[in-house]
Amino acid sequence: MKILLTSTSFQDTPGAHHDLLNDQGYHVDILRGPVTESVLLPIIQEYDAVLCGDDEYTEKVLIKGKEGKLKYISKYGVGLDRIDLEAAKKLGIPVKNCPGVNQISVSEHVLALLFTFEKNIHLQNETTKQGGWARITGNEIQGKTIGIIGLGAVGKELVKKALALGMKVIGFDLFRNEAFIKDFPEMIFTENIEDIYANADVISLHIPHTPQSEKLINEDVIFNKLKNNPIIINTSRGMLIDTDAIIKGLSEGKIRGYLTDVLAIEPIDENEKLKGVENVIITPHVGSRTYQSVVRQGTMAVENLMELVNTH
């Protein structure tokens, strides 16, 4: 069995997931992802399976793989928007991902970004490193309203943590999970996203990138619907926001900050418009990259691959 491993989180973090993969006796080749279509097209037919990150598994790539040896795709992580699932299904290439393993890490990262911004930690760290003592007044988050768009595993975990920190929580989802709503009666649940735009001081995005969610946060939302000049936090996908609208919203005081772990193009492009913009914090897609989460996700990805090999 020849396997292509491209997830950099898997590669860069030591742990039991490596031992499990090595114990299978597969021949493993390593590339550092995210890998583009143009890189995959000449090589994909050589592999029986891939253990991928956010690589471009387009219809073209999958057809080329199917013409060769490709039989299985195991996705390290949750998001499947870079894999053409319809094409995979048509070609008979099963795809598995790792839901429900990174919610603690990602929800903690949301709060880490929020605390950093509200307490000006990023700014004050820089000034004190230069020998300065510029004391900027910060903000508390207790009592603020956080709107959580998407109540999947990460969104639910953030609800719990935000309530524990004394925040008011509005949770939006298209699906009504009665058991979760009952367990957390302090949360205001809504099926109308406008409730979040009208009431939230902080908006956190936890939905997949689809044609419907592309540029969800756009100029119309920022200039006509947001009422409280909120902070927007994005640990999902860079394509959920309109970059130009965010920059304009920041410059005109319609939003207070944009804190993101994801960009539309990753790794960061030299022409990335958000680079150096005031009141923007960017981290390099590390929300789920903790030793604990990587081992959980990596182990599940290998187990998924083993299951695919043994059952198909």
DSSP output for 131-146: T----------TT-EE
Catalytic residue among 37, 59, 214, 266: 266
pLDDT of residue 201: 98
Annotated active-site residue 296? The verdict is: no
DSSP state of 237: -
Per DSSP, 223 falls in state I
2-99+291-311 CATH:
3.40.50.720
Every domain range in the chain assigned CATH 3.40.50.720 = 2-99+291-311, 103-282
**pLDDT at position 312:** 81
Is 266 among the catalytic positions? yes
d(CA 244, CA 250): 10
Catalytic hit among 109, 256, 285, 289: 285
Six-digit token string for 202: 């902080």
Q: Which of 237, 256, 289, 296 is catalytic?
A: 237
Query: Active-site residue 285, yes or no?
Result: yes
Per-residue pLDDT of the chain (312 residues; tens, 9 = 90+): 999 999 999 999 999 999 999 999 999 999 999 999 999 999 999 999 999 999 999 999 999 999 999 999 999 999 999 999 999 999 999 999 999 999 999 999 999 999 999 999 999 999 999 999 999 999 999 999 999 999 999 999 999 999 999 999 999 999 999 999 999 999 999 999 999 999 999 999 999 999 999 999 999 999 999 999 999 999 999 999 999 999 999 999 999 999 999 999 999 999 999 999 999 999 999 999 999 999 999 999 999 999 999 998
Phi-psi region of 261 (alpha: psi -120 to 50; beta: other; left: phi over 0): alpha
Q: Determine the Cα–Cα distance for residues 202 and 225; give it in Å rounded to an integer.
A: 14
CATH tag for 103-282 (out of 1.20.1440.230, 3.30.70.360, 3.40.50.10740, 3.40.50.720): 3.40.50.720
